[in-house]
Structure 1
């Protein structure tokens, strides 16, 4: 999935209601786990984390984000 030019991954775990997420901005990889029953809520939580990471990295909304988006290999 892609949010604001950043590819992210969201995977259901064997544990009910837990999701693993991962994205990369530049050389920084962020990963974690979230708990929710709803897929869309898990997606939204990752999108909010991407927004926060972009803001912290100083990337403006007008910048071409494709230059910093890369696929994360598992």
Structure 2
């Protein structure tokens, strides 16, 4: 049980680190429409989690791309 909790804590820490990185990178961005910021951050997080891959591969399908 302790191992499962440790794995969950590590996964949570990884998500927080990624979120913080995305927020820091996107902090200086200015969009004409504020609604564009959320999809941009999502795309940035996806590409950051799978460096070196193409955007369609990272997004997993054309609809998300």
TM range (shorter): 0.3 to 0.5
Q: Give the TM-score normalised by structure 1.
A: 0.34
Higher fraction of strand: 1
TM-score by length of 2: 0.37
Structure number with larger C-alpha Rg? 2
Structure of higher RCO (CA pairs closer than 8 Å, 6+ residues apart): 1
